[in-house]
A and B are shown apart, each in its own frame.
Chain A
Amino acid sequence: EPEVTQTPSHQVTQMGQEVILRCVPISNHLYFYWYRQILGQKVEFLVSFYNNEISEKSEIFDDQFSVERPDGSNFTLKIRSTKLEDSAMYFCASTQTGLSSTDTQYFGPGTRLTVL
Chain B
Amino acid sequence: GNSVTQMEGPVTLSEEAFLTINCTYTATGYPSLFWYVQYPGEGLQLLLKATKADDKGSNKGFEATYRKETTSFHLEKGSVQVSDSAVYFCALSPNDYKLSFGAGTTVTVRA
Count of chain A residues near B, Cβ 8 A: 29
Residue of chain A at shortest CB distance from B92: A101
Interface size of B as a range = 20 to 34
Stretch at the interface among A14-22, A38-46, A62-70, A77-85: A38-46
B residues within 8 A CB of A100? Answer: 95
**If the complex has contacts A91-B44, A107-B43, A107-B45, are A43 and B104 also in contact, measured as CB distance less than 8 A?**
yes
> Would B32 and A102 count as touching, CB distance under 8 A?
yes
As a 0/1 sequence over residues 55 to 98 of chain B, the CB contacts with chain A under 8 angstroms (1 = contact) are 00000000000000000000000000000000001010111111
Chain B residue numbers with a CB within 8 Å of A56 are 96-98
| Chain B 2-26 near chain A by CB (<8 Å), digits 1 or 0 | 0010000000000000000000000
Contact across chains for A101 and B43 when beta carbons are under 8 A apart: no
- Does A75 sit at the interface, judged by CB under 8 A? no
How far apart are the CA atoms of A63 and B100 in the complex, in Å? 22
Question: Which residues from chain A contact B102 at a C-beta distance below 8 Å?
Answer: 42
A102 & B43 in contact (Cβ 8 Å cutoff): no
A104-B43 CB under 8 A given contacts A42-B103, A48-B97? no
Of A91, A101, A107, the contact of B93 (CB 8 Å cutoff): A101
Interface positions of B (Cβ within 8 A of A): 4, 31-32, 36, 41-46, 49, 51, 89, 91, 93-104
Interface of A toward B, CB cutoff 8 Å: 3-4, 6, 31, 33, 35, 41-45, 48, 55-56, 91, 93, 95, 98, 100-110
- 18 inter-chain pairs at a CB distance below 8 angstroms, sorted by A residue, are A31-B97, A33-B98, A42-B4, A42-B102, A43-B91, A45-B98, A45-B99, A55-B97, A56-B98, A91-B43, A95-B97, A100-B95, A101-B32, A101-B97, A102-B51, A107-B44, A109-B41, A110-B43
